[in-house]
Structure 1
Amino acid sequence: MNIYDDVGYLKGVGPKMAEKLNKCGIYTILDLLLYFPRDYEFISIANNVEEFNDKDKIITEATVEGILKDIRTKTGKVLSTVLFKSGNTKFKGIWFNQPYAKNSFRVNGKYILSGKIEKHNKEIHLSNPKIMRNITLDDNKILAKYSLRDDLSNNFLNKIITEALVQINIIENLPRSILDKYKFISLDEAIKSIHSPMDSKILNEAKRRLKFQELFTYSLKILLLKEINSSVKGIGFKISDELKELKEKLPFQLTQAQARVVREVLLDQKKPVPMNRLVQGDVGSGKTIIALITMFNVIKNGYQVAMMAPTEILAKQHYAEAEKIYKNFGIKVKLLTGSTTGKNKEIIKEEIAQGKIDLLIGTHALIEENVVFDNLGMIVTDEQHRFGVGQRSKLSNKGENIDVLVMSATPIPRTLYLYLYGDLDVSIVDTLPPGRKPIDTYYVNKNESNRVYNFALKEIEEGRQVYVVCPLVEENEDIKLTSVTNLYDELKEKYFRNINISILHGKMSNKDKNEIMDRFKSGEIKVLISTTVIEVGVNVPNATVMIIENAERFGLSQLHQLRGRVGRGSHKSYCILVAEIKSETTRRRMEIMKSSNDGFYIAEEDLRIRGSGEVFGMRQSGESGLLLADLSTDFQLFKVANLEAKALLANQEEEEQRVVKEIINSIERSSKYICFN
């Protein structure tokens, strides 16, 4: 059996089951082995059930003594009961509303069961016991729990993964020097132990080895991409004579930082290799104008440009700005989003294919297969960490060796972006345009919110508008956080009775979100209660107050991004953080926000206090294509893996070069970073 064989080759996987596995992204044996458990259950082996406490999870071998008739309880539930005996102890297996469960048992039959103990007076029950197969009772168990869809079961996944591991011997593919240096277990042992760990120690060793493997390969891929890009022949654009005229007609003067970054991008465009540059700038630092000037140069060289934004609101803003700046320069700009009508979509697609459109601005709609460019020379992605790697490459593939510019308002600490974006050259817009006023930031404890909303009311009476941001849409029973819907009811009743307020959250349709944002921008809605969907790029100059509920739940950089939604007009603006301040760390984080408006300083502090995941306000796994490693908790391991990848590429010895070739081949055959031979 080969790891690239279809999963249908495994015993017990028929066509229907293969279809269910496909829905989980499992097509090959490799996909199956890399379908890692989402969690683990630590279960004790019970030779004597009586010795265990109420709520303990156990595995025991028991004989069926009887199967009782189902009973309907007063609350209408169907109660199914099977009588068991384990050693000298009798107990009941009980299922609610699962009458089919008892059909798996036969009187006098022996079964290995797992379930939770419940003690009622002198009776012992095992609630919802499951029959366990393919396991022995020689030691306590750590049971893998997988993400399940349809009627896939943990038992079934355990069974086929065990079968695959028995048939496959995974050959080591890291150099012996690295294994010895960091005392890593073998790749074979790591894969086996992550699915079926003998104990906590070996599980941790397996995770450490596989996280390193992933981060090491991720680093190698970035470094190799940079190497490949530098040897590929690009377009090499000339500097257009009309650039001078465009700059003179701008309604403002560029800051020194903007002028420097424009120069860096234009120099890249002249080079005969494809540009791959990240423009990083704080909220409001004027990155869009940099993109517009450099896109103008490409268009005036006779090429088309595509600009992709993560939201329709942001795409519309870029479109309006482009129309204004490019007026009188004979440039045709079009907007393509999910809400573009079917008829207009067809016209735009026809015109872009014929080369009649110079600049196409849009959302994910740009990466649809039937959007074909006649002569694409450059792509720009805004807020690039919001797009998966696959989405960005789909857009790049619409042209040949084109220039790529990515923009981000998420300040990434200098200590981090060198590792994250090794394949990108980085330009930093580190000053704000004149006239941007600093936003006064305050923090208050949850019990002082009365003051906060009375202040917001005064601002509304002065003709201003207010944002209120919450972390969740619905109330979470386990974590008591303010929800959008609950807060709306409370604020409408208590403070904003005769004021037009509305809700915005990610579960709404794009059409509804756009409609509400348009009404807020026009001033019709005075208070917008929202989740973090308003974080990116929204421009409402009349909004002067940003209130963030449960501020302790956000990363500092995300708080800073949200704060940047106000302070965009001529009026004094405020950001008020409402937090449960129960620890010195929380207070320190709030103080950092209060004392600084510098996104890069805040990002560095965030990295120091909470780890890199908070820099983005999100877990990076999934975004980066990583399965196990999480850049918020594994940053130190990432640094080590990155250094080892660089050393490996520089090493010309035969063994090291063999490893590089094998990993390159594996990456080409699979999008996964944990590669097998």
Structure 2
Amino acid sequence: MTEYNEEITKLKGVGEKTAVLFNKIGVFSFEDLLYYFPKDYIKYEAAVTAASDRTGRLMAFEAVVLGRPLIKRTGRLQIVSARLKSGDNEVNAVWFNMPYLAKSLKAGTACILYGRIYKSGERLCTDQPVIFTREKYEEIENTLQPVYHLTKGLSNNTVKKAVKQLLEMPLHTDPDHDFHSMHFPGSLSDLKRAREGFVYEEFFMYALRLRFLREKNDRAVNSFNIRECPETERIIEGLPYSLTAAQKRVWDEIKGDLSSSSSMNRLVQGDVGSGKTIIAFLAALMTAANGYQCAIMAPTEILASQHFEALSALIKRQGLDIECALLTGSTKAAQKKQLYRGIEDGSIRIVVGTQALFQKKVNYGNLALVITDEQHRFGVAQRESLLKKGENDTPHVLVMSATPIPRTLAIILYGDLDVSVIDEVPAKRLPIKNCVVDESSHDKAFRFMAKEITAGHQCYVICPLVEESEGAEDLKDVINYTEVLKSRFPASVSIAALHGKMKPAEKARVMEGFYGNEIQILVSTTVVEVGVNVPAATVMLIENAERFGLAQLHQLRGRIGRGDSQSYCIFINGNDNEQTRERLSVLVSTNDGFEIASKDLKLRGPGDIFGIRQSGELSFKIADIFTDADILKRAAEDVTKLLEEDPGLCKPEHEMLREKLFSLLGEQESTVL
């Protein structure tokens, strides 16, 4: 019997060089590969001829090359264009950075192309279609083929071959886990059934873990003596705006928690721009004014820096005698030593930072409050490791999240926390103007961006992919799109790329350049969705908007509209489907994140599982809290029934479940059992 933990190099055809590429996507063992599920599936239907009434959807179409392809060079971008004949229509095809096609696509060559047809004026066009010979296409016709997340140098075919080889081995797997139907489904119904099993298990174990963490949290007490203080009231009175009724309600709840001997574990949910940050600052200052320490943990260095600057300015304006410090991975070694001393002796009352806050070298003198910004960027384990920095008492925990999750789901998903909601946005904010357009509107959108840049403003462009990916040729990627924009805008417009594969220092440099308006157009993946504040950014153009969930699109557009000028969000819909148009129209009708999340839940059913995973929310491997809401509720109900029958999982039939929970909780946390 083959073992799960065997190294990936034990597979035929996976040598050391290929293994390094697999390692880059997080695959080290057989088990990693089994659980490396496709991000999408392509059903290759019978080829048709291209026609104007078939635009906007992915399809295979027959074509003949009419003439010798042309190559145009623009900077580092090489564009191959060819005229094709499909039925009675002519199609203009374009490929980026594939110069070899100019030689292989000879006039008269008959082939089948797979891609998306669109109209540009009266012309039929296609970008980046996949080319097949008739024989090769017949081999995959009418099958569901997996499409995996890849890295440069690793092809989709290499991953497919490795998975096929593994599935043919005698593996000791759970009979309820249908890995074959997840990777190579015989039909859509097979895939849905297999996926539901994995989703249920993931939600069940998540809910079970949270129930035990909740029990531990409910027992946590402290001896802090934190009382309401005049400093916070003076700050509220001195603000250039009045707190909303929702902010006041949540602040009262937090004040009550901080004054209690039971340690707070509270989630504050608030829509983009609802004013969560000032509430977090008030909690930090109330803690510090009472002589205790507060740690504010942000997901990125630039966001930590922005919080530090804003909080320091607030402390200075109020003339408070509270020392505040910034600690991140890029803080210089000599300065770190000095900060470590100040944190340990308690002279630094508020420390703002990233994961650097819970490194072993950081010892707190009297840590009483931990604030984590954007909950879904930090695992429960990371939050717990910071909690252990409280030497004798369990610190209070305040979690801030801009993810608009309906309350019914939030109570399950954040089962170890009390939930507060800031459901109002300050009236002074100008609402963002939104529009949904198709791919024929690119020229108009670029002209509008140029007009905004001339006025001193900046633009975001969001793409779903980092780089061109096999099996996803119809999707825009950051690398190629950056070059396309450079060819369309004058050299005076600075354009830069930002994505998760860049080194932290490089990402920080680009974001600082954009923050200072040295960069006018930032082409990025969804890494920008975490709350960085760039007031001069007034335009966001989102490519392939149909590939994102509504909640994530709302999070993304929250990066604009942060200054005094009118802001605009342009959603490019690459799909002509009526349901897709209806779904995206929700973003035009409202800027209310909670209303959007609720409508998203109604519009998307359990069968809607392709391409629109809400990647920003929590860290589920396969489950999606919106499409799988019914499974989430069922799993949570089953956990409740189980714990009513066997609270400590002590029955013999629950021994394996108990062991699995132990491994998830970790040794120190498992003492709650």
- Contact 1:380 1:405 (8 Å CA) reproduced: yes
Using the TM superposition, give the Cα deviation of residue 512 of structure 1 relative to its aligned residue in structure 2, in angstroms. Answer: 2.5
Once the two structures are superposed, the pairs formed by residues 533-548 of structure 1 within 5 Å of their partners are 533-548=527-542
Find the counterpart in structure 1 of residue 73 from structure 2: none
Find the counterpart in structure 2 of residue 303 from structure 1: 292
Using the TM superposition, give the Cα deviation of residue 341 of structure 1 relative to its aligned residue in structure 2, in angstroms. Answer: 1.2
Find the counterpart in structure 2 of residue 484 from structure 1: 478
Go from structure 1 to structure 2 and tell me whether the alpha carbon gap of 1:402 and 1:663 turns closer, same or farther (over 3 Å shift). Answer: farther
- 1:317 matches 2:303: no
**CA deviation string 1:288-314 (max 9, x = no partner):** 100010111222232211111111111
- Contact 2:37 2:183 (8 Å CA) reproduced: no
Find the counterpart in structure 2 of residue 279 from structure 1: 268
**CA deviation string 1:477-507 (max 9, x = no partner):** 4232222232233223223443233322222
Once the two structures are superposed, the pairs formed by residues 576-655 of structure 1 within 5 Å of their partners are 576-610=570-604, 618=613, 623-624=618-619, 629-631=623-625, 633-651=627-645
1:225 to 189, 192, 213: 213
- Contact 1:275 1:404 (8 Å CA) reproduced: yes
Q: Distance in 2 between matches of 1:654 and 1:239?
A: 37
Q: Percent identity at matched positions?
A: 40
1:425 to 397, 418, 426: 418
Find the counterpart in structure 1 of residue 510 from structure 2: 516
Q: Distance in 2 between matches of 1:205 and 1:38?
A: 18
**CA deviation string 1:378-404 (max 9, x = no partner):** 111111101123222222222242111
Go from structure 1 to structure 2 and tell me whether the alpha carbon gap of 1:581 and 1:268 turns closer, same or farther (over 3 Å shift). Answer: same
Rg larger in structure: 1
State TM-score, norm by structure 1.
0.69
Using the TM superposition, give the Cα deviation of residue 643 of structure 1 relative to its aligned residue in structure 2, in angstroms. Answer: 0.8
Q: Distance in 2 between matches of 1:289 and 1:340?
A: 25
- Contact 2:540 2:560 (8 Å CA) reproduced: yes
Task: Give the match's secondary structure for 1:284.
Answer: coil
Find the counterpart in structure 2 of residue 190 from structure 1: 176
Go from structure 1 to structure 2 and tell me whether the alpha carbon gap of 1:189 and 1:34 turns closer, same or farther (over 3 Å shift). Answer: farther
Find the counterpart in structure 1 of residue 429 from structure 2: 436
- 1:464 matches 2:464: no
- Contact 1:413 1:600 (8 Å CA) reproduced: yes
**CA deviation string 1:223-263 (max 9, x = no partner):** 23223322232345432323323323334321211111111
Task: Give the match's secondary structure for 1:335.
Answer: strand
Amino acid at match of 1:434: A
- Contact 1:381 1:407 (8 Å CA) reproduced: yes
State TM-score, norm by structure 2.
0.70
- Contact 2:209 2:665 (8 Å CA) reproduced: no
Task: Give the match's secondary structure for 2:176.
Answer: helix
Find the counterpart in structure 1 of residue 361 from structure 2: 370
Amino acid at match of 1:440: K
Amino acid at match of 1:638: L
Unaligned runs of 5+ in 2: 39-99, 101-132, 140-147
Task: Give the match's secondary structure for 2:372.
Answer: strand
- Contact 2:546 2:612 (8 Å CA) reproduced: no
Go from structure 1 to structure 2 and tell me whether the alpha carbon gap of 1:314 and 1:298 turns closer, same or farther (over 3 Å shift). Answer: same
Q: Distance in 2 between matches of 1:318 and 1:615?
A: 37
- Contact 1:557 1:617 (8 Å CA) reproduced: no
- Contact 1:389 1:623 (8 Å CA) reproduced: no
Using the TM superposition, give the Cα deviation of residue 189 of structure 1 relative to its aligned residue in structure 2, in angstroms. Answer: 3.8
Q: Distance in 2 between matches of 1:204 and 1:617?
A: 16
- 1:343 matches 2:334: yes
Find the counterpart in structure 1 of residue 241 from structure 2: 252
Go from structure 1 to structure 2 and tell me whether the alpha carbon gap of 1:502 and 1:471 turns closer, same or farther (over 3 Å shift). Answer: same
Using the TM superposition, give the Cα deviation of residue 425 of structure 1 relative to its aligned residue in structure 2, in angstroms. Answer: 0.9
Task: Give the match's secondary structure for 1:442.
Answer: strand
Q: Distance in 2 between matches of 1:559 and 1:435?
A: 23
Once the two structures are superposed, the pairs formed by residues 27-42 of structure 1 within 5 Å of their partners are 36-38=34-36
Q: Distance in 1 between matches of 2:323 and 2:614?
A: 39
Go from structure 1 to structure 2 and tell me whether the alpha carbon gap of 1:597 and 1:496 turns closer, same or farther (over 3 Å shift). Answer: farther
Q: Distance in 2 between matches of 1:350 and 1:409?
A: 34
2:441 to 434, 444, 448: 448
Go from structure 1 to structure 2 and tell me whether the alpha carbon gap of 1:462 and 1:523 turns closer, same or farther (over 3 Å shift). Answer: same
Find the counterpart in structure 1 of residue 324 from structure 2: 333
1:403 to 396, 411, 427: 396
Q: Distance in 2 between matches of 1:666 and 1:316?
A: 39
- Contact 2:465 2:476 (8 Å CA) reproduced: yes
Q: Distance in 1 between matches of 2:526 and 2:633?
A: 30
Using the TM superposition, give the Cα deviation of residue 648 of structure 1 relative to its aligned residue in structure 2, in angstroms. Answer: 2.8
Go from structure 1 to structure 2 and tell me whether the alpha carbon gap of 1:593 and 1:206 turns closer, same or farther (over 3 Å shift). Answer: closer
Using the TM superposition, give the Cα deviation of residue 609 of structure 1 relative to its aligned residue in structure 2, in angstroms. Answer: 2.7
Find the counterpart in structure 1 of residue 384 from structure 2: 393
Find the counterpart in structure 1 of residue 80 from structure 2: none
Find the counterpart in structure 2 of residue 359 from structure 1: 350
RMSD: 4.5
Using the TM superposition, give the Cα deviation of residue 427 of structure 1 relative to its aligned residue in structure 2, in angstroms. Answer: 0.9
Q: Distance in 1 between matches of 2:166 and 2:595?
A: 47
Q: Distance in 2 between matches of 1:119 and 1:571?
A: 55
Using the TM superposition, give the Cα deviation of residue 277 of structure 1 relative to its aligned residue in structure 2, in angstroms. Answer: 0.8
Using the TM superposition, give the Cα deviation of residue 430 of structure 1 relative to its aligned residue in structure 2, in angstroms. Answer: 1.0
- Contact 2:307 2:352 (8 Å CA) reproduced: yes
Find the counterpart in structure 2 of residue 267 from structure 1: 256
Find the counterpart in structure 2 of residue 112 from structure 1: none
Go from structure 1 to structure 2 and tell me whether the alpha carbon gap of 1:477 and 1:437 turns closer, same or farther (over 3 Å shift). Answer: same
- Contact 2:224 2:368 (8 Å CA) reproduced: no
Q: Distance in 2 between matches of 1:431 and 1:653?
A: 40
Find the counterpart in structure 2 of residue 91 from structure 1: none
- Contact 2:4 2:30 (8 Å CA) reproduced: no
Amino acid at match of 1:571: S
- Contact 2:297 2:355 (8 Å CA) reproduced: yes
- Contact 1:558 1:615 (8 Å CA) reproduced: no
Amino acid at match of 2:349: D
Go from structure 1 to structure 2 and tell me whether the alpha carbon gap of 1:190 and 1:551 turns closer, same or farther (over 3 Å shift). Answer: closer
Q: Distance in 2 between matches of 1:596 and 1:389?
A: 32
Using the TM superposition, give the Cα deviation of residue 436 of structure 1 relative to its aligned residue in structure 2, in angstroms. Answer: 0.5
